[in-house]
């Protein structure tokens, strides 16, 4: 066996907690994509529905989340705050249905952040434990 293969970390099956945080992040991300599209195209469109493009960055996330890509969890945990901020602003400025949709966006954003952060922390702790062993 080559030295590079001996030092490469062994891929193990994800733990139940890792699967749970992945499934929560994946489900909430898909729900946020659906919410963004439905909000801007049908439920309470602003203008001609051009704000639906805000869902485009999120479309890259589900495949990476499904495959446990650490890079995806990291960038999603950072970019999700843009959606939370937009939801907070629109929840105070839009009356009626738009306000409730904005609050839904905030709740989904916080859930995604917590799930992504949990996944990152679990994986880093597992890597540190494997390195120590």
> In the predicted model, is pLDDT for residue 9 greater than 70?
no
Over residues 41-72, the pLDDT tens digits come to 999 887 787 888 999 999 999 999 999 999 99
Q: CA nearest 112: which of 14, 20, 27?
A: 27
Residue ranges of domains in the chain = 17-44+52-132
Give DSSP secondary structure letters for the chain: --HHHHHSPPP-PPPHHHHHHHHHHHHHHHHHHHHHHHIIIIIS--TTSGGGGGGTGGGGHHHHHHTT-HHHHHHHHHHHHHHHHHHHHHHHH--THHHHHHHHHHHHHHHHHHHHHHHHHHHHHHHHHHHH-
* Claim: this prediction has a pTM higher than 0.85: yes
> In the predicted model, is pLDDT for residue 25 greater than 50?
yes
Which residue's entry shows tokens 């950072």? Answer: 78
């Amino acid at each position: 066996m080559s030295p590079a293969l001996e030092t490469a970390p062994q891929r193990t099956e994800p733990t139940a907690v890792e699967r749970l945080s992945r499934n929560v992040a994946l489900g909430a991300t898909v729900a946020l994509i659906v919410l963004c599209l439905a909000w801007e195209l049908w439920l309470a469109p602003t203008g001609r529905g051009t704000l639906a493009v805000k869902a485009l960055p999120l479309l890259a996330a589900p495949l990476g989340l499904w495959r446990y890509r650490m890079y995806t969890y990291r960038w999603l945990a950072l970019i999700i705050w843009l959606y939370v901020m937009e939801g907070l602003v629109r929840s105070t400025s839009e009356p009626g249905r738009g306000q409730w949709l904005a609050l839904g966006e905030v709740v989904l954003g916080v859930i995604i952040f917590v799930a992504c952060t949990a996944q990152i922390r679990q994986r880093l702790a597992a890597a540190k434990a494997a390195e120590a062993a």
